[in-house]
Amino acid sequence: MERVLIVGNGYAGARAADVLGALGGFEVLQLSDEAYPAYCRHLLPGLASGERVPEDLFLPPGDGNGRVAGARSGTAVSRLFPKTRRAHLSNGEEVSFDHALIATGARVFVPEILRHIFGRCVNVIAMRQMKEALSLRRILEGGKRRVAIIGAGRIGVLLAEALKRAGACISLVDIAPEILPTMLHGDVALLLRPHLEAEGDLSVLAGRTVASAEMEGETVRALHLSDGTVVPCDAVVLATGVVPNTEFLEGEGRDLADGIPVDDRMETSMPGIHAAGDVIRFRTVTGKTAPGQLILNARLQAEVAARNIAGERATCPPLFVGNVVKIGPVIGAVAGDVDGTGTEDYRVGDSFLRVTLEGGGMTGFQFVGLPEDLRGLVPGVLKRFDAAWVRQALAAPGGPGFSPRVLAGAGAWV
């Protein structure tokens, strides 16, 4: 019986394990450096804040829980050798395999200057895994409530919102002039920021860097920012972006800094070695390659990879990049390619919408407002709605936007 090695138990790894288990005919060995079964990473802020318990995060049986017979938690792949089909494990063991799926996700990127400042501080946490969320939770449960979050991207903002609801005192620091710098244009993010700062004890300190840290033994007691601001803190959370976990593949002659390149069968340049999820670069609907994922993307990619490992000829369609941040009743969202110059702003219901129209079609959008006003926008990106039709629909009296009724009349694609 052929052995399939799955490296990672996130959304992609867990989905592939489920698909291969259902297809049968393989010995599946799934390895993960985490001590927990597959769980929902996007719920980690709620776990850190005390709103959830670990069991709330575990994926249910039959929905990618990764609990296959060959699943081994707490054992990492230290080095993978695709050509010889061997893997060295963190416990010193060596295993062989016939096929492999790399689904190792991403880790927090810590700039060199921050590594130099913080060293091995006991109250500095990188928010990416369950053990890190639980570590922050223990600090808060000990009565220490001042948290400095470095990085106002999606992870930092979601954590700040959750901790604010829990009654913590939050300082959100970022070098960029506005929150969510890699997600929304600055003037769009500015519309969302008041909702983040509303209520609770939360300060956004944008356009600043960490110059130094005030220490007490191995504990950070305050941050000194580039403008002279002093931020007292009981914990520091690093939310400074992510990079794909490819270090165990280094030395294989590839440039993997932005992720592993794959074809539309999710196969790498090495036959029999597939990859899916946050660890890859994938083709988007606008013809670009991009890192970063949605949960649905990762699961679809993993299923395609698993079926091809099983001998099928499945292909993954071009996908879109996107993200959503919920702040109270309001959401900020982005989908598709929003870097083009052809942007136009609209009011949809009570919400703000900026669409990007390039090459005669809709390539992306940015949105701040109520979830119900977001309906139908994602198909506009996937189908590249005709630009003239988009303008007409959004300018219609009453602001119907892309409601299902309007979508029913769409017939022109680019």
* Cα 274 from Cα 305, distance rounded (Å): 6
Q: What is the pLDDT of residues 176-212, one digit of tens each?
A: 999 999 999 999 999 999 999 998 999 999 999 999 9
Q: What tokens were used for 358? A: 């390039």
| 3-state class percentages of the chain: helix first, strand second, coil last, to nearest 5 | 25, 30, 40
| pLDDT at residue 326, rounded to an integer | 95
Q: What is the mean pLDDT of residues 220-231?
A: 98
How does residue 410 score in pLDDT terms, banded at 50, 70 and 90?
very low
Q: What is the pLDDT of residues 25-51, one digit of tens each?
A: 999 999 999 999 889 999 999 999 999
Q: What is the mean pLDDT of residues 69-73?
A: 76
- Do residues 242 and 128 make contact, with C-beta atoms less than 8 angstroms apart? yes
Q: Please provide the average confidence, as pLDDT, over all residues in the chain.
A: 89
92: Cβ contacts below 8 Å, ≥ 6 apart: none
Q: What is the mean pLDDT of residues 128-132?
A: 94
How does residue 294 score in pLDDT terms, banded at 50, 70 and 90?
confident
pTM above 0.85, yes or no: yes
Does the pLDDT value for residue 73 go beyond 90?
A: no
Q: What is the mean pLDDT of residues 228-252?
A: 90
| pLDDT at residue 413, rounded to an integer | 28
Q: What is the pLDDT of residues 165-174, one digit of tens each?
A: 999 999 999 9
60: Cβ contacts below 8 Å, ≥ 6 apart: none
| pLDDT at residue 251, rounded to an integer | 53
362 backbone dihedrals φ, ψ, rounded to 5°: -85, 120
Which domains does the chain show, CATH number per domain?
A: 2-107+243-309 (3.50.50.60), 112-238 (3.50.50.60), 329-407 (3.30.390.30)
Q: What is the pLDDT of residues 319-375, one digit of tens each?
A: 888 899 999 999 999 999 998 789 999 998 889 999 999 889 999 999 999 999 888
Does the pLDDT value for residue 408 go beyond 60?
A: no
Q: What is the pLDDT of residues 88-118, one digit of tens each?
A: 999 999 999 999 999 999 999 999 999 999 9
